[in-house]
Amino acid sequence: MLGMSIAEPTEELYATDAYLRTFEADVTDVDEAGGRVALRRTAFYPGGGGQPHDIGELGWDTGRAAVTKVRKEGGVVWHWLEPNAGVPDPGVGVAGDLDWERRHLLMRTHTALHVLCGVIWADFAVAVTGGNMEPGHGRLDFELDAMSAELGQQVERRINEEIARAREILVDFVDRAEADRDPALIRIKANLIPKAIDPLRVIDIVGLDKQADGGTHVASTAEVGHVTVTKTESKGRANKRIRIAVSDAA
């Protein structure tokens, strides 16, 4: 690598302002062979918790390149640039520009999955066993005893009722010891959040769902749009899958 032997931790702008589309930063380290750079701060979400990483562009005085991949390693967020575009030197200032249409749809999708999680928790008090998403589509698995198309229709109605309530969505940071005392804050069946993460970032859909989460979300459930349950599946004796799609409100 060029530049610093150990890049300094990246300031995660996306963690406190999911609506930040552009930003300025300087390069703290360069992996020229890998075609990637670390920045002092970034609005690019590096992926995690089932949410894909962001894409977009970085520009600097002598170049511009598409950001094709973002990943966090330790406390450092690395940005992979398109092949043969070159990389800026350490210390160079860059301007970041997110693919906002894709990011915003991911925010809507992620929030829709939290609404689904809140509905299932409120009605059945069961944990999430897995999940994933892409822009406009997602799925969650639950420890439900049974699954049916009728249940899917019921859940779809409940999700859209909660969206229509325009519930406010807040971001908070909670001491790990406090979070560990509240089992509702960590909804996954196996707690995969390392103990070293302290405080925990918490997403609160006020009055419905409050849980630890590192991803990006919209500010109100009304911004999600409309959710359709596209498929219900049984993936095992106590593992039932619900797939959803997000579309613009009528």
Residues spanned by the domain of 23? 2-98
- Per-residue pLDDT, 95: 98
Q: Are residues 141 and 233 in the same domain?
A: yes
Q: Are residues 108 and 210 in the same domain?
A: yes
Peptide bond before 199: cis, by omega within 30 degrees of 0?
yes
Q: Are residues 21 and 134 in the same domain?
A: no
How far is 115 from 241, CA to CA, in rounded Å? 15
Strand partners, 31: 36
How far is 116 from 75, CA to CA, in rounded Å? 31
Confidence tier at 104 by pLDDT (50, 70, 90) = very high
Q: Are residues 19 and 35 in the same domain?
A: yes
How far is 1 from 81, CA to CA, in rounded Å? 15
Neighbours of 234 (CB within 10 A): 13
pTM: 0.91
How far is 197 from 204, CA to CA, in rounded Å? 18
How far is 74 from 10, CA to CA, in rounded Å? 10
How far is 97 from 67, CA to CA, in rounded Å? 9
Q: Are residues 34 and 126 in the same domain?
A: no
Domain boundary among 55, 78, 98: 98
Which range among 26-35, 110-119, 142-151, 240-249 shows the weakest confidence by mean pLDDT? 142-151
From its phi and psi, is residue 50 left (phi > 0), alpha (psi between -120 and 50) or beta?
A: left
Tell me what the mean pLDDT of segment 133-140 comes to: 98
How far is 159 from 127, CA to CA, in rounded Å? 17
Q: Are residues 233 and 155 in the same domain?
A: yes
What percent of the chain stands above pLDDT 90? Answer: 75
Beta carbons of 191 and 197 less than 8 angstroms apart: no
Which range among 25-39, 154-168, 230-244 shows the weakest confidence by mean pLDDT? 230-244
- Per-residue pLDDT, 186: 56
- Per-residue pLDDT, 57: 98
Distances in Å between the alpha carbon of 109 and those of 134, 140, 228, 244, 246? 8, 12, 11, 9, 6
More confident residue, 129 or 19: 19
